[in-house]
């Protein structure tokens, strides 16, 4: 996951994830006042739950602090 400056288009920070993210979500990002402290990276390999074994992979999301 890469954090970059929108004005200068320079990479500010780079964070490794444990898998290939399929979706990125910032809590409240679709609202008028997003929180902007955390990023949730969702695993694109993990699919629906299959009973009784659970998800295909044990990790389905990673919480990343982007506050600073």
Q: What is the mean pLDDT of the chain?
A: 79
Mean predicted confidence (pLDDT) in 15-28: 83
Q: What percent of the chain lies above the pLDDT cut of 90?
A: 7
Residue 57: which residues within 8 A CB-CB, separation 6 or more? 19, 43, 45, 46
Per-residue pLDDT at 61: 82
* The pair of three-digit structure tokens given for residue 30, joined into one six-digit string: 């679709």
Q: What is the pTM of this model?
A: 0.63
Per-residue pLDDT at 19: 77
């Amino acid at each position: 996951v890469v954090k970059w400056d929108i004005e200068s288009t320079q990479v500010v920070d780079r964070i490794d994830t444990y898998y290939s993210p399929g979706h990125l979500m910032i809590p409240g990002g679709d609202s008028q006042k997003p929180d902007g402290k955390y990023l949730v990276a969702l695993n694109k390999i993990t699919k629906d739950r299959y009973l009784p074994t659970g998800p295909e992979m044990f990790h389905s999301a990673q919480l990343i602090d982007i506050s600073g």
